[in-house]
Structure 1
Amino acid sequence: MVEIDFAQLSYSNQREHLAKYMADPEKRMCANTWFREDTVDAWRHRRMYEMLDPLLTGDPGSSWLTVGDGRWGKDARYIHKKGGKVCATDITPNLLEHAKAIGFIPEYSVENAEKLSFANGSYDYVLCKEAFHHFPRPMIALYEMLRVATKGIVLIEPNDNGADGFEECGNYVYSLSRREIVKVALALSYPCVAIKGFNDCFIRGVEHEKLSAQSYLLKKTIHRIEAMDKACREGTCDYFMLATVFFIEKPNQEVIDKLNKDGFALMELKANPLLDKLAISADTTSSS
């Protein structure tokens, strides 16, 4: 059996996949739809972006880094339009370079999410939207995002439903669970996390379907989401997606109020009872 470095193979496959959106005419046509704000697909993503609003409006002017933001930096664009200072990143410059050149995003950097080049605490917040589950070593990427943030990170990702899946490029689809999120935060002695479950539905063709009250695909998408929401309320299934905020420091009251209003469950976490002893021991060691 031939031994391979799977992480390196995954990075290479992801770069190759994204490069096709500039080189292949058919894929470029698809990629161009990502610029549009008047499609059913844009409506889908706007629902997710609006989950950032409690942070963007409750902590105005904050600095942000987006990770895995290869679709022209659309995550960064939303943050920029809302007044945040933001840098978009992805593993390849293919789409971000063009997006910066035409003024679609203010700044970008080519980054591997599992080895970010930024210093500790370089940004207030980090956003990773629908990219975490594509990484070959997602937990390394998670700790990298936490390392470069000072206030918190936001993940918008599939909820773990217990099923295992693999992508065409070979990656395992790494979904998140509420318990896993809480355990990561507890291990790092973070004060709280905020989690919101929600449903989403992708139907082929929504990228090209114009958003209107008469749109068949919009009606079909909404109908499916409402059916999923109903099942979740009745307890027969869990939400398909999770929006998660790891807070490195406790947020201000305005952010807390806005999160609660938007349906997030804010969980204050148990403090590590040994921290005070560890701090005293560290002081004693450094002064001796």
Structure 2
Amino acid sequence: MANLDFKEQSYTAHEQHYQGNEKVFRRLENKDSIDFWRHERMYKTLAPFITDKNDSWLTVGDGIGTDANWLQDQGLNVVASDISEVVLTKAFEKGFVNKFSKENAEHLSFDDQSFDYIFCKEAYHHFPRPYLALYEMIRVSTKAVILIEPEDIGIQMSFIVFIKNILDRISPTLINKVWKNRFSFEEVGNYVYKISERELEKVAMGINLPCIAFKGINDYYTNSLDLSQPTSNKKILNKVKAKIRTKNVLCKLGLIPYQLKTCVVFKTTPTPEVKAKMQEQGFKFVEMARNPYLK
């Protein structure tokens, strides 16, 4: 019963998160800002999947409609969804989103295979039971579910695993001195449920899906810089770019994992056109072994 109470408490906190925030639409109203530039870098990893303008899209956990708004700008048919309809209603009234729906990610109201693509950006890690949400997103999609989420270094970074295995022999809490954000929480009340390639591979294998794909991306955010400034402010923009470049070099050397990852769980094998565009963008494409016992 306690777990059920906590789940409801978590979703209630998220439902009320944007209420009273007067600056909630600042990113949508200021698309020449460094903040918007940061997020558009992530959105551009979706380019390989924007090949057919007749495809339908659903955004999940799209608090203010930013994700749907960007997809609409690409000429796509999109429904924005979030656990709260308060801000999405205003986004609709302001013309930022064309369609929206109040949805709990664990219990999407749509029929099976209602949308071609499901897109969930930096919301999955807010969910108290994210796997339930992922299976729901898979259920209502026909082509793929696309997540952009922070990466779990505790799985993806072998050095952390190596150190943890050694320190665990002494005490299971010693690793906390090295891995400072092992238990990380956000002010809205959620544990930051980071993602890994291996976990999504297991999801795909468990339900006999054909393939998955990944692309790493780094970002930089700090309260010490005013990221609402326009991209013409080269002093701030160059500082952000320099931080991202440094992370990119360390990632290419294999010293650290990427901060974020675009993860694609395919329900059907993508077309050669989509695969070619993914390759151009540097996606890692992984075909799953097929279950030999269940045809």
Q: What TM-score does the superposition give when structure 2 sets the normalisation length?
A: 0.86
In structure 1, the partner of 2:55 is: 62
Matches of 2:9 and 2:140, distance apart in 1:
26
Residues 115, 140 of structure 2: 8 Å contact kept = yes
- The correspondence for 2:29, drawn from 27, 32, 35, is 35
SS at match of 2:23: helix
Matches of 2:227 and 2:109, distance apart in 1:
33
Amino acid at match of 1:62: D
Q: 1:13 Cα deviation (Å)? A: 0.6
In structure 2, the partner of 1:247 is: 266
SS at match of 1:5: helix
Counterparts in 2 of 1:2-13, with a 5 A limit?
Answer: 5-13=5-13
Residues 61, 83 of structure 1: 8 Å contact kept = no
What number of residue pairs does the alignment pair up?
266
Matches of 2:3 and 2:290, distance apart in 1:
44
Matches of 1:161 and 1:3, distance apart in 2:
27
Question: Could you say if the C-alpha distance between residues 268 and 51 of structure 1 is closer, same or farther in structure 2, counting changes exceeding 3 Å?
Answer: same
Q: What value does the CA root-mean-square deviation take over the aligned residues?
A: 1.5
SS at match of 1:11: helix
SS at match of 1:17: coil
Partner deviation per Cα, 1:179-205 (whole Å, 9 max, x = no partner): 111111111111111100111111224
Q: 1:274 Cα deviation (Å)? A: 0.9
In structure 1, the partner of 2:164 is: none
Matches of 1:63 and 1:105, distance apart in 2:
14
Gapped regions of structure 2 (runs ≥ 5):
155-181
In structure 2, the partner of 1:263 is: 282
Given the alignment of the two structures, is residue 198 of structure 1 paired with residue 217 of structure 2, yes or no? yes
- The correspondence for 2:203, drawn from 184, 202, 206, is 184
Counterparts in 2 of 1:44-123, with a 5 A limit?
Answer: 44-57=38-51, 59-71=52-64, 73-123=65-115
In structure 2, the partner of 1:281 is: none
Amino acid at match of 1:53: A
Residues 42, 217 of structure 2: 8 Å contact kept = no
Q: 1:18 Cα deviation (Å)? A: 1.6
Matches of 2:204 and 2:142, distance apart in 1:
14
Residues 55, 76 of structure 2: 8 Å contact kept = yes
SS at match of 2:119: strand
In structure 1, the partner of 2:167 is: none
Question: Could you say if the C-alpha distance between residues 265 and 247 of structure 1 is closer, same or farther in structure 2, counting changes exceeding 3 Å?
Answer: same
Percent identity of paired positions between Structure 1 and Structure 2: 42
Gapped regions of structure 1 (runs ≥ 5):
22-27, 277-288
